[in-house]
Amino acid sequence: MLWALFADVHANLEALEACLEDARGRGAQRFALLGDLVGYGADPGAVTEIAMGLTASGAVSVKGNHDQAIEGTASYLNDTARAAIEWTRGQLEPRHRDYLAQLPMVAREETICFVHASADAPHRWTYVDGTAAAWRSTQAGGATYTFSGHVHDQGLYFERPGGGMGAFRPVPGTAIPVGRHRRWLAIAGSVGQPRDGNPAAAYALFDAAAETLTFHRVAYDHVAAARKIEASPLPPHLAYRVRKGI
């Protein structure tokens, strides 16, 4: 089974379509949407529509903090994110809002745990930004593989024989052996708003049979995505972030 892992799409339609095409071209059979479908970008309706279609045909989809904020509890977001959410809410049809509201916080399939932030208290939206946080999420998830987003940079954590975890910054395009004799936690990277200085969309492919994980970056028309944000009432610096990948 070849899983495509998409996190933090953030209403970036151009990026999502590019990643879907890339993943399908590489033979992806199932999709996992790791949260934050909306917020920041100009196409929340279209992105949610695609997510609903994928879910109907078997995709796993979990809730992110921006998805939750649509329900009206956005107090913990910063001003920019809140402004984006206010605008986004008005762009969504009721069925989009219903879809986002019913998303689970955590999903499990066989040896995999899917969660937007940390499996350890997922509703707190803790950032998995180090080996200690990764260890807590892995322990709480209780699965061989924990796949998440929230942190926008791609990352891979691996269990050490003596306990605790090691961290690795993946190089795109390399199939990394992730044997099931260890526990692994992968951050797929952000499809719609990468922040590492490279505007290319990020996602990952997990080959469950071969036990390999490959991180990918996909160049797409990010300028078009940025222009749409500029043409909307969204805060202009959200467009700048998409242009620059920061």
Stretch that binds another protein, among 4-12, 103-111, 176-184, 190-198 (CB under 8 A): 176-184
Closer to another protein by CB, 69 or 143: give it: 143
CB of 176 to another protein, least distance (A): 6
Beta-bridge partner residues of 156: 168, 186
- 163 contacts another protein (rule: CB under 8 A): no
Q: Return the CA Rg of the chain.
A: 17
Closest to 5 measured CA to CA, from 170, 171, 188, 164? 188
For residue 233, CA distances in Å to 78, 87, 226, 243 come to 17, 8, 13, 17
Closer CB to another protein, 79 or 110, in the complex: 110
Is 90 a binding residue for another protein by CB under 8 A? The answer is no
Q: Is residue 111 part of the contact set for another protein (CB under 8 A)?
A: no
Helices then strands, counting H and E runs in the chain, come out as 8, 12
* Residue placing its CB nearer to another protein in the complex, 29 or 111: 111
Q: Is 158 in the site for another protein (CB under 8 A)?
A: yes
- Read off the tokens for 18: 């590019």
**153: contact with another protein by CB under 8 A:** no
How many whole angstroms separate alpha carbon 205 and alpha carbon 175? Answer: 9
Judged by CB under 8 A, does residue 211 bind another protein? yes
Q: What is the DSSP letter of 118?
A: -
| Positions that interact with another protein (CB under 8 A) | 156, 158, 160-162, 166, 168, 171, 174, 176-177, 179-182, 211
